[in-house]
Amino acid sequence: MRLTRQTNYAVRLLMYCATNDGQISRIADIAQVNGISDLFLFKILQPLVRAGFVETIRGRNGGIRLAKRSDQITLYQVVKVTEDSFALSEHLEGDGACPSGDRFGLSAVFREALSAFFRVLSTYTIADLVEAQPDILSLLKIEPVTILRK
């Protein structure tokens, strides 16, 4: 299984917002740090807003910020809303019917592997990723003075 760029950048967007801790983050800043276009980032943003992970703030000083605490957003949840398919093979596509009638028992093995993958992703949150990077502020080019601590 290969996760898409959309998932990769969605996680990065959420990490940026988590690091910016309650402040409004600008799409242009996030796009620049990640070397992607604003338009691609807007595309990535939509499923995150629909899932309730991010909220948008309109207006001249608008932008985005987390709608949930970063320790309440798991990688599994992000992957679930950003990926279109989780089929490891044709055995898991559509109705799950194997072209060979699953005479070899592959469907059950692939389902078990996918379940294990999701279980691991469920144990990690956006907060875990941010906390694992001691130099996250410099990586994301966020000035320490913009961070509010509770």
For the chain, list the domains and their CATH numbers. 5-144 (1.10.10.10)
The tokens 């592997």 sit on which residue?
Answer: 113
How far, in Å, CA of 110 to CA of 148, rounded? 45
How far, in Å, CA of 89 to CA of 106, rounded? 9
**Tokens linked to 96:** 């799950």
One-letter amino acid for residue 110 of the chain: F
- For residues 7 and 79, the answer to whether their CB atoms sit within 8 Å is yes
41 pLDDT tier (thresholds 50, 70, 90): very high
pLDDT digits (tens, 9 = 90+) for 127-142: 999 988 877 777 777 7
pLDDT digits (tens, 9 = 90+) for 77-127: 999 999 987 766 555 555 555 555 566 677 788 888 889 999 999 999 999
One-letter amino acid for residue 150 of the chain: K
- In terms of pTM, does the model score above 0.75? yes
